[in-house]
A and B are shown apart, each in its own frame.
Chain A
């Protein structure tokens, strides 16, 4: 029987967290002028959209948003099994000299971010790259570190943490599942 998921952040809590993340991002970037948000497919894109909306409300600035699909840059394509579906990559402006904030839902091993860094390097040379994630669950396999973190969640071995967004999943929620005998 799979263990029931625990709600770490409900919809309202997630909204607050995202708002605080947006403030931190602007603070660390010293304003919105060179700021650019790049969401990692899939849910990083929706989170980046919300961050941009908060920034627009608070600062009155429209921060450019892009999407990055890192499938083709993964280091585990040969062993991952099913050929992953490739999502849309859309970075329609030059990133040279910009402050690029990579936005993702969960930071775990760090491999996704490594792939994103490689891919961004093919687009240009930002002045600075930062990482903002909703959940940091630890378990890093590479020396990757998030600059802006929504919530640190300690996930026991075999467990998982998921971020759900209403655009894709019908609800806003962050849940933690501890391993039972998962089906």
Chain B
């Protein structure tokens, strides 16, 4: 189909396994472009992509920017505050303005769950969700999937445990959807205060102790613990969190397997993960970053050029 992902990438919950696999299959060969001397292909030449970030983010934004520039797109960055106190323009008005400026694609990160969808419903441009509140962070989920797939060959039957603040994590949600659809066995581990009350309905195993998770898993995806969780009363202290739930060398050494360690970054060294684990031989954290650019290039490639009128007239076929 001419628009295999539809107009937007808002999340992984409603994508099929085929669509997710298509994105991963597209991303894999794109990794090579970042190895070249000239890290550029002309595919999105002339396309304008807006990075609309209502939350501060260095890593995700730069990753998207590299992906966009390596595809030869023109990029514009807007970093703006979204607090209700300093609220400038409403999202509705922003959408209208973007429409008027004829921007081809918008990458949006916003603190409110549903914001990406809100925007996508109001503009013709392709919208890519770079993280909306606690809801989803689909490109992160995809790069995690790609990393694991490259490591294991397949995700079917692989045991992946997400460790940490699942309740507030959009990365966790995207991972749960993506992993489940590709046939992995998914578990979560963390203090009950940081797991959704309805976690059982996600079809995942729940480990209350990280030791049990480590014994069970083929791979751990360790989530960042935010300082606000302590001040919000979810856990008594970061110190206790590390002592009870921290992924430490000592705990890891008890794993019966070569446990793969992932982390979406940025890391709180010494809180959710210890440095010798993060920098150790089982960590694929840096590979995740590399795969991130490729995945984002793949998403841009698959979404761009979604022009229904042209697709109608398209003939397709061999034109060599």
Q: Check A-B contact in the complex, CB < 8 A.
A: yes
A residues in contact (CB < 8 Å) with B: 69, 72-73, 76-83, 85-90, 104, 106-109, 111-112, 118-119, 122-124, 160
- Are A69 and B29 neighbours in the complex by a CB distance under 8 Å? yes
- Are A79 and B38 neighbours in the complex by a CB distance under 8 Å? no
- Are B29 and A89 neighbours in the complex by a CB distance under 8 Å? yes
- Are A82 and B320 neighbours in the complex by a CB distance under 8 Å? no
B residues in contact (CB < 8 Å) with A: 1-4, 25-26, 29-30, 32-33, 36-38, 40-43, 71, 301-302, 305, 307, 310-311, 313-316, 318-320
A83 to B296, CA, bound (A): 16
- Are A109 and B301 neighbours in the complex by a CB distance under 8 Å? no
Q: List 16 A-B contacts (CB under 8 A).
A: A72-B41, A73-B43, A78-B310, A80-B314, A80-B316, A80-B319, A83-B3, A83-B301, A83-B305, A88-B32, A89-B33, A104-B320, A108-B319, A111-B320, A112-B320, A122-B41
CB distance from B230 to the nearest CB of A (A): 45
B32: chain A residues at CB < 8 Å are 88-90
- Are A86 and B29 neighbours in the complex by a CB distance under 8 Å? yes
- Are B320 and A73 neighbours in the complex by a CB distance under 8 Å? no
A76 to B318, CA, bound (A): 11
A147 to B33, CA, bound (A): 29
A104: chain B residues at CB < 8 Å are 320
Most B CB atoms within 10 A — which of A69, A73, A86? A86
- Interface residue from A80, A85, A106, A123 paired with B26 (Cβ < 8 Å): A85
B4: chain A residues at CB < 8 Å are 82-83
A160: chain B residues at CB < 8 Å are 318
- Are A123 and B38 neighbours in the complex by a CB distance under 8 Å? yes
A79 to B308, CA, bound (A): 10
- Are B301 and A122 neighbours in the complex by a CB distance under 8 Å? no
Majority secondary structure of chain A interface residues (helix, strand, loop or mixed): loop
- Are A118 and B307 neighbours in the complex by a CB distance under 8 Å? no
- Are A109 and B319 neighbours in the complex by a CB distance under 8 Å? yes
- Are A72 and B320 neighbours in the complex by a CB distance under 8 Å? no
**Top 5 A-B residue pairs of the complex, sorted by shortest distance between their CB atoms:** A81-B314, A81-B316, A112-B320, A72-B41, A72-B43
A111 to B33, CA, bound (A): 21
Closest to A137 in B: B320
CB distance from A109 to the nearest CB of B (A): 6
B29: chain A residues at CB < 8 Å are 69, 86-89
- Are B301 and A72 neighbours in the complex by a CB distance under 8 Å? yes
- Are A79 and B314 neighbours in the complex by a CB distance under 8 Å? yes
- Are A86 and B30 neighbours in the complex by a CB distance under 8 Å? yes
- Are A79 and B313 neighbours in the complex by a CB distance under 8 Å? yes
A122: chain B residues at CB < 8 Å are 36, 38, 40-41
CB distance from A179 to the nearest CB of B (A): 13
B26: chain A residues at CB < 8 Å are 85-86
Most A CB atoms within 10 A — which of B1, B319, B320? B320
- Are B305 and A82 neighbours in the complex by a CB distance under 8 Å? no
- Are A118 and B37 neighbours in the complex by a CB distance under 8 Å? no
B314: chain A residues at CB < 8 Å are 79-81
A124: chain B residues at CB < 8 Å are 37
Closest to A70 in B: B320
- Are A77 and B305 neighbours in the complex by a CB distance under 8 Å? yes
CB distance from A93 to the nearest CB of B (A): 12
A88: chain B residues at CB < 8 Å are 29, 32
CB distance from B288 to the nearest CB of A (A): 21
A79 to B314, CA, bound (A): 5
A80 to B316, CA, bound (A): 5
CB distance from A2 to the nearest CB of B (A): 15
A78: chain B residues at CB < 8 Å are 305, 307, 310
A76: chain B residues at CB < 8 Å are 319
- Interface residue from A81, A106, A123 paired with B320 (Cβ < 8 Å): A106
CB distance from A137 to the nearest CB of B (A): 9
Closest to A123 in B: B36
CB distance from B47 to the nearest CB of A (A): 10
A104 to B319, CA, bound (A): 13
- Are B37 and A123 neighbours in the complex by a CB distance under 8 Å? yes
